Amino acid sequence: MDPETEFIDQIALFAALLCGCIVIGHLLENSRWINQSITALLIGLGTGGLILFTSGGKSSRILEFKQEFFFIYLLPPIIFNAGFQVKKKQFFRNFMTITSFGVVGTLISFGIISFGATRLFPILDIGYLEIKDYLALGAIFSATDSVCTLQVLNQEETPLLYSLVFGEGVVNDATSVVLFNAITKFDLSDMDLYIALEFAANFFKLFSLSTMLGVLVGLLCAFIIRTLYFGRHSTDREVALMILMAYLSYITAEVFGLSGILTVFFCGIVMSHYAWHNVTHKSQVTTKHAFATMSYIAEVFIFLYVGMDSLDVGKWRFVNDSPGKSIWASIILLVLIMIGRATFILPLSYISNLIRRDRNEDIGIKQQFVVWWAGLMRGAVSIALAYKKFTGSGQTIQPANALLITSTITVVLFSTIVFGLLTKPLIRRLLPQSSQTEPSSPTSSTTPLLENGHDDPENGNQGTLRTKLSLSMLLNSPTTTVHYYWRKFDDACMRPIFGGSGFVSYATGTRDMDVIH
Amino acid sequence: MDPETEFIDQIALFAALLCGCIVIGHLLENSRWINQSITALLIGLGTGGLILFTSGGKSSRILEFKQEFFFIYLLPPIIFNAGFQVKKKQFFRNFMTITSFGVVGTLISFGIISFGATRLFPILDIGYLEIKDYLALGAIFSATDSVCTLQVLNQEETPLLYSLVFGEGVVNDATSVVLFNAITKFDLSDMDLYIALEFAANFFKLFSLSTMLGVLVGLLCAFIIRTLYFGRHSTDREVALMILMAYLSYITAEVFGLSGILTVFFCGIVMSHYAWHNVTHKSQVTTKHAFATMSYIAEVFIFLYVGMDSLDVGKWRFVNDSPGKSIWASIILLVLIMIGRATFILPLSYISNLIRRDRNEDIGIKQQFVVWWAGLMRGAVSIALAYKKFTGSGQTIQPANALLITSTITVVLFSTIVFGLLTKPLIRRLLPQSSQTEPSSPTSSTTPLLENGHDDPENGNQGTLRTKLSLSMLLNSPTTTVHYYWRKFDDACMRPIFGGSGFVSYATGTRDMDVIH
């Protein structure tokens, strides 16, 4: 069979499996245990097993996973959609807590996993690992995957909890990838204070530049659509421009060695805040759902692939001699993950509660447990980072590297399936009120934020803010105050230029007739 | 620079160029001459020239065009969208004429081009070509590209003309690709009557099987969405399933050696007739515009690439010694294309007018000229087919093959730019009424069918049909009669199972509250 025909066969099988995942995921929607990710993972495992069986143990995959494929095509739509659909009011209200969990927390988690691995792995006698490898391990296993938990949490009933888990998930993704890139690029062989400081400076430079680039591209897109009045001629062109500019922001960040994830996330936020209000009503509906759909397909694709790939014999060959080591390594990593999360959730929640002062918004012990639990799962980002680090140019031939790959797969499979299956019953027990309603929004399973994502700022937050603002409040809640001044600035300077809800531009006169429904 | 970094740079540049094409295309929307395809082609040429200049004449492209890429990723969304957005009533009303133009016409065109090339090319002394090569040439150059003309024609004012050009374009694409595949697969070295008959039988088998597969997948999708009541849980899942099943139909056809183009086209028609009515209102808006956007991006991508690729030095190297031959070959091909089209448009229009009997629907001489003109342009399909045939495994090293590639590029560039620039003024002169209004629909530039694509069958055609039907009408207009019986069958058997407009299933009860607007 020539490679082209084979490739077409592979794509056909993969497309069929994706369709199967969607249908079965739909049928299991109301199940007590299973969710979409686990479904895809199990279908992937099943298919992998079947291929392994029919090929006589030679192969378990249809397509070969290239980590570039993941980072270039699958991750951008997921992260962009996360930014685009995020409930901005909640996100920015809890901005400090989210950032502290997502950045400081991830760094603490990273430190504990790296340190623990440095101490415990030599006992296993798995072969020599450099300091860089341990640090990379820390970064790989601090990348959480909170999709499972988000599917169970109810945004309307527990808005604070939801925004914490969601926000931490996104910022955590970005932090761990930035961290990972910083580690692989830096020479950390002889660590001293100077190098550590330089590393930290580099990390923050990456962080801020990436954010700025995303904001800039988002604003540019809003500006172009607004000034050139795109809706006049074509809805499709508006949608196409938004998709392409979002992707452009991601790929430009990658070209300049920045974090595409952060860039495209902020690009999504800015686009939904400005550009989205400049397009026709039809484009608004289309972009909302089309972005969510792309993200959904990418997510199912990843879990399906991870399931199929985890049975790949090539990776397990080197572990055959010492299966015990791989299992012990996985257990160590799982324990370190649990300790790492506990170490930062408790103190950071305590600090956050101190700063907030509003007792109604306290993060209680049950909520802390849910946040902790939500971040225990490991997913596609960990797999992709591990592949990037420990495979390629024949590196898997080294036993230590092969073992780390298999341990990563084990941790991802175990945490997604076992922890994932426990999530629904556990959260319903902890947060009993959420058990009365449907677990997921009727209109969108992956992004329950969808419907209310673009809230009108005119008749919500701002009115109450203006009347309540006083000196004591300014001292008590710095975040809210920052939010108030941002709103003022936004109304006075940004929205007249870039558009946004409440500012009907001449360009979208037609849109607003549509919008009355 | 390592290949991965280089690849990311290439993608970034390409994404930026695509954005540029969209913005410039929007700005030139009202131009007297230029249209989106020409814009993309010129930007591609410009960028290619710039790269050629900066790289010191080494390369003119960013990415390398693989013909699989075109056939696997870019063509399916374009053709699927064509089927999905086609105004079914018009399409099936003119079904006989469209099919005769698209199938019989393309075969005549193919015969004339092949025969002409067999006689004229040996005079040029370009090297030895087999009979198979000449036949392939015929297939390559009977694939028209009527996008340019469609952008100028007004669907509301000249519905017959529009549906003829549009319908012929799609059927022609399918016919030429099926023909091309049949030629490359068949051993035609010693042609006799038996082989010719077998070839014809094979061609029609491909044609009917492909159509059936598309219809089947479309019905299956409608059935799944209807019975499983997808909208209950998630809009995104509905949209994802429609996208994936459409793609699955294409790729399955390719796996079984059928024509993916025909399959996905009919899958699109069936999906828009049944499945589209089973999804929520939001999914309806999203699918309409998302499919149009994907198709739009794919189209711009192709023209941009063709422009950039046409300056590739590798292809022109072998022609350097004898530039005259390449120019003469291009001129011969262009003349053959013009003769080929004229040969079938005139007699087939005459026959069509005879059968129709309704003098108001006659295809007049001006309309025949427009149909003829619309099919003179050659585009991406020709390029892709030429690459498939004459490159790969170092075939371009043969001077004859290299010359055929450069001639193809020349014909495509010349016809798209020169004929394309003349299209707008020419059609406005021929059909003066269309010059009063805007040339393109305000909501969608690529698919002016969009808004009215899903017409309600209840309050249109059928009522009048039922009252007028009589024996004389049955004899006079067989197409209309077939249409009438199909409607009856559709209402009685198909729609109760697969859904469709007018049949509100229990599944979409929520949708219909939405729909009143």
For residue range A59-114, list pLDDT tens digits in order. 666 666 677 788 888 889 988 998 898 777 778 778 888 888 988 999 999 999 99
CATH number for position A343: 1.20.1530.20
Quote the pLDDT of residue B340.
Answer: 93
Residue B144: helix, strand or coil by DSSP?
Answer: strand
For the segment A355-412, what is each residue's pLDDT rounded down to a tens digit?
776 666 778 888 899 889 988 988 888 888 888 888 765 455 577 788 888 889 899 9
Dist. CA A482–CA A484, nearest whole Å: 5
Quote the pLDDT of residue A190.
Answer: 67
**From the candidates A147, A244, A508, which should be mutated to test the interface with B, based on the most B CB atoms within 10 A?**
A244
Quote the pLDDT of residue B515.
Answer: 37
Output the CA–CA distances (angstroms, integers) from residue B267 to B85, B276, B489, in the order listed.
12, 12, 19
Quote the pLDDT of residue B166.
Answer: 84
Pinpoint the alpha helices (H) of A271-379. 276-278, 281-309, 313-316, 323-356, 365-374
Quote the pLDDT of residue B397.
Answer: 58
Quote the pLDDT of residue B242.
Answer: 94
Quote the pLDDT of residue B447.
Answer: 35
Quote the pLDDT of residue A202.
Answer: 83
How many C-beta neighbours within 10 Å does residue A282 have?
A: 23
Nearest to B300 by CA among B35, B28, B32: B35
Residue A191: helix, strand or coil by DSSP?
Answer: coil
Kindly give, in sequence order, each residue whose CB lies less than 8 Å from that of residue A60, ignoring residues fewer than 6 positions away.
Answer: A48, A49, A51, A52, A308, A309, A311, A312, A313
Structure tokens at A392: 């390629």
Beta bridge partners of B144: B378
Interface touch A243/B297, C-beta < 8 Å: yes
Say what the ipTM of the complex is.
Answer: 0.82
Structure tokens at A290: 């089309």
Dihedral sign from CA coordinates of B74, B80, B82, B84: negative
Distance between A289 CA and the closest CA of chain B, angstroms:
6
Quote the pLDDT of residue A62.
Answer: 64
Q: Which domain holds residue B116?
A: 66-279+322-452
Residue type, A232: R
Residue A127: helix, strand or coil by DSSP?
Answer: coil
CB A199 within 8 Å of CB A186 = yes
Q: CA torsion, points B415, B382, A72, A236, in degrees to nearest 10?
A: 50
Q: Is residue B302 part of a domain?
A: no
Q: Give contacts of A 288-307 with B, CB under 8 A.
A: 288-290, 292-293, 296-297, 300
Tens of each residue's pLDDT in chain B, 517 residues:
566 777 888 889 889 999 999 999 888 877 777 778 888 989 999 988 888 888 776 666 666 667 778 888 888 998 899 889 887 777 877 888 888 898 899 999 999 999 999 999 888 877 778 888 898 999 999 998 877 777 777 777 778 888 888 888 878 888 888 888 888 877 766 667 887 788 788 888 888 899 999 999 999 999 998 888 766 667 788 899 999 999 999 999 989 988 888 899 899 999 998 988 888 888 899 999 999 999 999 989 988 888 888 877 766 776 666 777 888 899 999 999 999 999 999 999 988 888 776 666 778 888 899 889 988 988 888 888 888 888 765 455 577 788 888 889 899 999 988 988 888 888 888 876 544 333 333 333 333 333 333 443 333 343 344 444 445 555 555 566 777 777 888 888 888 888 776 554 444 443 333 333 3
CB B40 within 8 Å of CB B63 = no
Q: What is the largest CA-CA distance in chain A?
A: 76
Which backbone phi and psi does A392 adopt, to 5 degrees?
A: 85, 145
**pLDDT at A13 exceeding the cut of 70:** yes
Which one of B18, B247, B296 has the shortest CB-CB distance to A15? Answer: B247
Quote the pLDDT of residue B197.
Answer: 85
Interface touch B282/A285, C-beta < 8 Å: yes
Residue of B nearest to A24 (CA): B228
Q: Is residue A20 part of a domain?
A: no
Q: How far apart are the first and last CA of chain B?
A: 56
Dist. CA A406–CA A398, nearest whole Å: 13
Dist. CA A429–CA A421, nearest whole Å: 14
Nearest to A379 by CA among A21, A20, A36: A36
Which H or E element spans position B433? none
- CA B266 to chain centroid: 13
Q: Is the CB of residue B247 less than 8 Å away from at least one CB of chain A?
A: yes
Interface touch B252/A442, C-beta < 8 Å: no
Output the CA–CA distances (angstroms, integers) from residue B158 to A233, B155, B262, B470, in the order listed.
20, 6, 26, 28
CB B81 within 8 Å of CB B291 = yes
Interface touch A445/B245, C-beta < 8 Å: no
Dist. CA B175–CA B178, nearest whole Å: 5
Interface touch A22/B244, C-beta < 8 Å: yes
CB A127 within 8 Å of CB A400 = yes
Dist. CA B109–CA B92, nearest whole Å: 24
For the segment A250-270, what is each residue's pLDDT rounded down to a tens digit?
999 989 988 888 899 899 999
Q: Is residue A464 part of a domain?
A: no
Q: Is residue A393 part of a domain?
A: yes
Quote the pLDDT of residue A333.
Answer: 94
CA atoms within 13 A on the CB side of B500: 20
**Which residue in the block uniquely carries the two structure tokens 């629904």?**
A424
- Number of structural domains chain B divides into: 1
Taking contacts as CB-CB distances below 8 angstroms, the residues of chain B near A255 are: 8-9, 12
Q: Is the CB of residue B15 less than 8 Å away from at least one CB of chain A?
A: yes
Residue B378: helix, strand or coil by DSSP?
Answer: strand
Which one of B230, B251, B444 has the shortest CB-CB distance to A11? Answer: B251
Residue A456: Cβ-neighbour burial (10 angstroms; 0-12, 13-18, 19+): exposed
Q: What share of chain B is helix, strand, coil (3-state, %, to 5)?
A: 80, 0, 20
Q: Is residue B60 part of a domain?
A: no
According to DSSP, residue A312 is labeled -
CB B403 within 8 Å of CB B326 = yes
Taking contacts as CB-CB distances below 8 angstroms, the residues of chain B near A26 are: 228, 230, 233-234, 237
Output the CA–CA distances (angstroms, integers) from residue A399 to A311, A396, B417, B514, in the order listed.
18, 7, 59, 60
Residue of A nearest to B288 (CA): A286
Nearest to A281 by CA among A318, A244, A239: A239
- Is the pLDDT higher at A490 or at A452? A490
For the segment A17-46, what is each residue's pLDDT rounded down to a tens digit?
999 999 998 888 777 777 788 889 899 999
Q: Give contacts of A 195-224 with B, CB under 8 A.
A: 224
Nearest to B442 by CA among A234, A187, A367, A230: A234
CB A378 within 8 Å of CB A439 = no
Dist. CA A470–CA A482, nearest whole Å: 13
Nearest to B117 by CA among B144, B135, B140: B135
Distance between A24 CA and the closest CA of chain B, angstroms:
10
Q: Is residue A447 part of a domain?
A: no
Distance between A115 CA and the closest CA of chain B, angstroms:
32
Reported as a pLDDT band with limits 50, 70 and 90, residue A448 is very low
According to DSSP, residue A442 is labeled S
Structure tokens at B162: 């529009």
Q: Is residue A442 part of a domain?
A: no
Q: Is the CB of residue B515 less than 8 Å away from at least one CB of chain A?
A: no
Interface touch A286/B286, C-beta < 8 Å: yes
Q: Is residue A485 part of a domain?
A: no
Taking contacts as CB-CB distances below 8 angstroms, the residues of chain B near A228 are: 23, 26-27
According to DSSP, residue B128 is labeled -
Which backbone phi and psi does A144 adopt, to 5 degrees?
A: -85, 170
Taking residues A164-174, report their average pLDDT: 84
- High-pLDDT (> 90) share of chain A, %: 21
According to DSSP, residue A458 is labeled T
Dist. CA B180–CA B184, nearest whole Å: 6
Structure tokens at B28: 């030139």
